[in-house]
Amino acid sequence: MILKTKQLSKSFGGLKAINKVDFELPKNEIRGIIGPNGSGKSTFFNLVSGIYDSDPGSYIEFDGHDITYTPPHEIAGYGLSRTFQLLRLYQDMTVIDNVMSGYHTRVPYKFFDAVIGRKKIWDQERAIKEEMMELLSFVGLADYAELNASELSGGQRRLLVLARAIAMKPKLLMLDEPAAGLSPVNVDNLMKIIMQLKEKYGLTLIIIEHILKVVMDTCNSVTVFDHGQKIAEGTPAQVKDDNAVIEAYLGKKMDDEEMRKALAV
Amino acid sequence: MEKFKSIIRDYPFIAFIIAFVILAFVPSVVFTDVYQSHLATLIFVNIVVAAGLNIVKGYCGQVTVGHVGLFAVGSYTAGTLFLYLGLGFWVTLPIAIIVTAFFGVAMGIPSFRLEGPYLALATLGGGEAIRLFIENGNFFRSTFGISDIPTPSLMGYNFDSPDRYYFISMTIMIIAVYFSFSILRSGVGRAFMSIREDPICAAAAGINVKKYKILAFILSAMFAGAAGAVYAHMPPGYIHPNNYTVIEMVTFLAMVVLGGLGHIWGGIIGAIVITIVYDLTRPLYKYQLLIFGLTIVLTILFMPKGLGGFIDRYFLEKRFKKKTGTEKTT
């Protein structure tokens, strides 16, 4: 198990955004998380990556480390990377700087060496830059490396955020709606890149996505959230036919008798 | 030429040594009177402060308006060490840097909780408090100021006139700029920029936000401390609380903004331009604040990345055109 939560809860005032969720994720799996808006998917991400503190009684374990009350930068150090729904791109930095800042946890030299400006530093910086340029050309942004991130188009921004999250060579990558707002062609392209990256870096993935086609096609297993609770889990096919899931998305499935009553009114 | 470029890339300090040699000949070749040396020293002091301010404001994005207080701490550490212990420049400089670093920590702690204008208000209070503390303390000679702070001497040679002191200030400036250059070019500079752009995302990418914020404040405080000590020992060696008012802070800010926030040479370009303009507009002293205020506003409106960003943009567009064959004019 690379990620495990037990009785994970978070409430904002009286609202239970996440309510006693037990979640387990084996290595090398692609897990989809779906659920209606406000069902706690993003809150779940924020809890796991340490941006919110979970309520007492919760327990989160990542790759053998107890990360329940660990600050986010240490969790990232253990090899957990994530993207954000609202991208949180570094707008005023160049594309290459954006990606290189994702490399932070792997930077090999000490601060003092950087102050002195030893040759070693510049060699290593150049090696980092080369590696990151490779990553950029992999996602198809190499030509834009020196532009400001704010000058990219919407689709390119999504690719850049993905590249930035990969830069730290994570063990677990959590993608929060990677395909939101993309055209169908771009969605296919993006998913292809994500699958290639998974192969290349041996990633474990969690993907929040509203485009069900993406989830059904790419994920090994799917977890469904509703009102802060986990209501179903299984393979995409199992989840698709689960009554609780259909109820959460479309409303209750009625038998003939109920249907007749409802229509008669 | 290519070979020379690659040597500079591997050993950037060679470029600084070349700059040192060139600057060393400037007084004898270019300057016509002593006053110009004095002005050059002022420029160098301002460059050191602006380079430090660029770290914390331009790169790390923490709006501090109390930097002039740190500058004052540097000056007055040097001044009081001379006054009570009779210490000279070579001892007071390192002590001033260390003491100012501690004040930098104090100035930086509010940045954990405060952002933008609120942090500006807190640091403004901090800077003014330092000045008022000095002005009202007999220990610091209050409004009399500390006078006759000696110029440094090295192996029997006394740097006692502006054209001699030029070499001291220039050396300190070159060293400071070199440090700021190597810090900002490395991963540390990138971490600062990420915090400026988005602290939450920076934390999720593994950057210890609090640590780097404090680091930025400490580094820039050390720059301000060094500049303060150099300023205090500058002939005629007189410091007074009125040299450290909010007005000075506005000129420091104008330097960084005009040069380009977050541009590696930003503070330096700005410091040169603003110090010279400040000197030329001395007869119009009533309007100086107006001029610098307008400079800040107009720069932010029409050239948000300052002179440095403007120049960069020009070369970038040229390169982009060469590489892709298309215009990029956003």
Secondary structure (DSSP) of B156-167:
TEE--SHHHHHH
Sorting pLDDT into bands at 50, 70 and 90, what band is B328? low
Interface check for B5 against chain A (CB to CB < 8 A): the answer is no
The pLDDT of B196-209, averaged and rounded, is 94
Whole-model pTM above 0.90? Answer: yes
- The pLDDT score that the predictor gives to residue B13 is 86
Both B65 and B112 in one domain: the answer is yes
The pLDDT of A194-213, averaged and rounded, is 91
Give the CATH number of the domain where residue B106 resides. 1.10.3470
Give the H or E element holding residue A82.
strand A80-82
CA nearest neighbour of A40 among A247, A194, A248: A248
For chain A, domain boundaries: 26-54+69-79+170-265, 91-168
Both B99 and B202 in one domain: the answer is yes
Assigned domain for B330 exists: no
Both B41 and B180 in one domain: the answer is yes
Sorting pLDDT into bands at 50, 70 and 90, what band is B273? very high
Share of chain B above pLDDT 90, in %: 62
Say yes or no to pLDDT of A264 above 80: no
Maximum average pLDDT range among A128-132, A242-246, B141-145: A128-132
Could you give the strand order of the β-sheet that contains A15-25, starting from the edge strand earlier in sequence? A15-25, A3-12, A59-62, A65-66
Chain A partners within 8 Å of B191 (Cβ): 101, 104
Chain B partners within 8 Å of A91 (Cβ): 197
Interface of A with B (CB under 8 A): 49-51, 71-73, 76-77, 81-82, 84, 88-93, 97, 100-105, 107, 109, 111, 114-117, 119, 121-123, 125, 128, 143, 146-147, 151, 164-165, 168
Say yes or no to pLDDT of B329 above 60: no
ipTM of the complex: 0.91
Question: What one-character DSSP code corresponds to residue A211?
Answer: -
CA nearest neighbour of A76 among B55, B217, B194: B194
Both B149 and B21 in one domain: the answer is no
Beta bridge mates, A175: A207
Both B157 and B239 in one domain: the answer is yes
Give Cβ neighbours of residue B276 (< 8 Å, ≥ 6 apart).
Answer: B39, B43
Structure tokens of B61? 């994005």
Among B9, B194, B262, beta carbon nearest to A101: B194
Sorting pLDDT into bands at 50, 70 and 90, what band is B3? confident
Both B158 and B198 in one domain: the answer is yes
CA B39 to chain centre: 16
Contact B196 A92 (CB under 8 A): yes
Task: Tell me how far apart the alpha carbons of residues B249 and B242 are, in angstroms, rounded to a whole number.
Answer: 12
Chain B partners within 8 Å of A73 (Cβ): 203-209
B70 contacts B124 by C-beta, under 8 angstroms: no
Both B17 and B140 in one domain: the answer is no
> May I ask the CATH class of domain A26-54+69-79+170-265?
alpha beta
Residue B217 or residue A146, greater confidence: B217
A12-57 pLDDT tens trace: 998 999 999 999 999 999 999 999 888 999 999 999 999 999 999 9
- The pLDDT score that the predictor gives to residue B327 is 65
Both B24 and B112 in one domain: the answer is no
The pLDDT of B55-68, averaged and rounded, is 92
Interface check for B318 against chain A (CB to CB < 8 A): the answer is no
Question: What one-character DSSP code corresponds to residue A39?
Answer: S
Say yes or no to pLDDT of A110 above 90: no
Sorting pLDDT into bands at 50, 70 and 90, what band is A265? low
Give Cβ neighbours of residue A176 (< 8 Å, ≥ 6 apart).
Answer: A41, A42, A45, A82, A83, A84, A85, A208
Both B149 and B2 in one domain: the answer is no
**Could you give the C-alpha distances from A113 to A116, A122, A164, B126, B206, in angstroms and in order?**
5, 10, 25, 32, 20
Assigned domain for B329 exists: no
Both B198 and B249 in one domain: the answer is yes
Q: Which residue range forms the structural domain that includes residue B2?
A: 1-30
* Number of DSSP helices (H) and strands (E) in chain B, helices first: 14, 2
Q: Which residue of A lies nearest to B188 if distances are taken between CA atoms? A: A111
Question: Mean pLDDT in chain B?
Answer: 90
Task: Tell me how far apart the alpha carbons of residues B130 and B249 are, in angstroms, rounded to a whole number.
Answer: 13
Assigned domain for B65 exists: yes
Residue B329 or residue A78, greater confidence: A78
Assigned domain for B272 exists: yes
Both B224 and B297 in one domain: the answer is yes
Structure tokens of B55? 């770290």
Among B182, B206, B320, beta carbon nearest to A76: B206
Task: Tell me how far apart the alpha carbons of residues A192 and A172 are, in angstroms, rounded to a whole number.
Answer: 18
Indicate the number of domains in chain B.
2
Both B80 and B65 in one domain: the answer is yes
